[in-house]
Amino acid sequence: MTLAGCKVNVQGRPRPLVRSEGVHGELEGVVEYRKDEQGTDGNRRESETQVFEERLRVRTKGDVYHPDFMNYDVAVGVGLAQQRIESDDVSGWDDDTLSDYNLFAQFLRAKPLSGTVDASKSEDLIARQFLGSLRTERESEGGSLFLRSADWPMMLQYSNNDTNQNGLNPVAGDFFRREDERLRYSVHHNFSDTSHARFNFDRTDSIQESIGALVDTETDTYTFSHDYGFGGDKQHRLDSFFNFVDQEGSFEYENLRWQERLRLQHTPAC
């Protein structure tokens, strides 16, 4: 590779180091109206909520050096959220800013060992009965590695997801947060044309928090499955399945499942 400023030579041809297919923009608007009534004439509750969301988002995709070396897809947005509510408990007008993004990149997609990375964020409002809207923010990031082996194809994947909720109107006093951190390993192997095995391992660390409550758990899940065809024309089949779940932390839990399923063909017609 020969660098010349922001240019490179790939297989004897000059090209930009970072190539984009162009920047595209989009506008998004959301309008929601909600009216709730509850109770009898002597004890009646009423609520009206109007929610407005406006967003401007730009998006681009392209590659770095070569599409098989790294390709990417990026979107970034900003916006405004507004709420008007009239109820017995809450009344008034509230507004706040919104932001979101979505980033994805893939590396060495044509090679035996390849990978991806991604990150995203979104914010929106959820209208509720007799209360102000919930502002929900979701963030995630992760990555994957793939080994394309003829005998033992494998995948290693990591992700972290974080969700936060708060009332857009501070009087509501709502708060909720959940974070899930996951690690997954999977491998496949074909012992023969009629014998196929798969193994998955998942570890999940979860934290869930609200006003006056905290739940923290760590869960390991092991899954093994195998299918085997036999007989002169491979008309018979045996499927095996094993799953074990072990959870520790605020709640302890274990579960073991083992299943064998045998299918026999009695005659060529059935």
Give the residue from 103, 115, 23, 19 showing the smallest Cα distance to 67.
19
Which tens digit of pLDDT belongs to each residue from 188-223? 999 999 999 999 999 999 999 887 789 999 999 999
Angle CA 105–108–111, to nearest 5: 150
* Strand partners for 44: 39
| ∠ Cα 26 76 183 (to 5°) | 130
Domain ranges of the chain: 19-263
So what's the pLDDT on residue 1? Answer: 37
Does the reported pTM lie above 0.85? no
Element (H, E) at 70: strand 70-87
pLDDT score, position 2 = 40
3-state SS class at 43: coil
β-pairing, 3-4 vs 154-167, is unpaired
Cβ pair 77, 55 in contact under 8 A: yes
Q: Within 10 Å of residue 270's Cβ, how many Cβ atoms?
A: 5
Q: Is the pLDDT of residue 175 over 90?
A: no
3-state secondary structure of 228: strand
Indicate the SS3 state at residue 90. coil
Q: Measured between alpha carbons, how far is 4 from 198 in angstroms, rounded to an integer?
A: 48
For strands 253-263 and 3-4, give the pairing. unpaired
Average pLDDT over residues 254-270: 86
3-state secondary structure at position 89? coil
**Per residue in 221-249, is it b (16+ CB within 10 Å) or e — as a string?**
bebeebebbeeeeeeebeeeeeeeeebee
**Chain segment 3-50, per-residue pLDDT in tens:** 444 777 777 778 888 888 889 999 999 898 888 888 777 788 888 888
